Amino acid sequence: MDGLSGKTALVTGGARGIGAGIARRLAVEGVSVTLTYSASAEKANELVAEIRANGDTAIAVAADAADPGAVTAAVGRTITELGRLDILVNNAGMGIAASIEDMALEDYDRCFAVNVRAVFVAMQAAARHMESGGRIITIGSVNGDRTPFGAGSVTPRPRPPSPV
């Protein structure tokens, strides 16, 4: 990964899991990292401390991906505090383990807001600040295509055959 040193990245959902792994790796490569979190403040702060202890630069920003204003503000804080934005990693995501018959509309709306709308909002906000050569990376899930468990959000509950 030549040429990453001195770059700045924003990793949504970067406090834990895959996002934390991405943030760590970018920092090792010399990238200053902003990571967002919604409910994992402790994990976000621990990761920032870990990255800083290695001599690298990182900040954590509370930003619920379902809130377009928070997503846009995270881009703004990255620019303000780290001076630029070269890489956006759309990693924040969620799923609902419910059959389509049982899923509440509010749950569907939140899932759509986090997994689809937030990606668009972040890309739009980041693109306004990125210079030539900037990169936008969006992480997806196979669960958008097929679920590895029963009662996935798009899986209808099996019904007995109707009498004919």
Average pLDDT, the chain: 89
- Domain 8-141: state its class: alpha beta
Nearest-angstrom CA–CA distance, 59 and 72 = 16
Nearest-angstrom CA–CA distance, 145 and 79 = 35
Q: What is the mean pLDDT of residues 123-150?
A: 84
The closest alpha carbon to 97, from 141, 153, 142, belongs to 153
Q: What is the pTM of this model?
A: 0.86
**Structural element, H or E, at residue 19:** helix 17-28
> Would you tell me how many other CB atoms lie within 10 Å of the CB of residue 159?
7
Whether 153 shows a pLDDT value over 80: the answer reads: no
| 140/114: higher pLDDT | 114
Quote the DSSP letter at residue 122.
Answer: H
Q: Where are the domains of the chain?
A: 8-141
Nearest-angstrom CA–CA distance, 105 and 124 = 26
Residue 96 has a pLDDT of 82
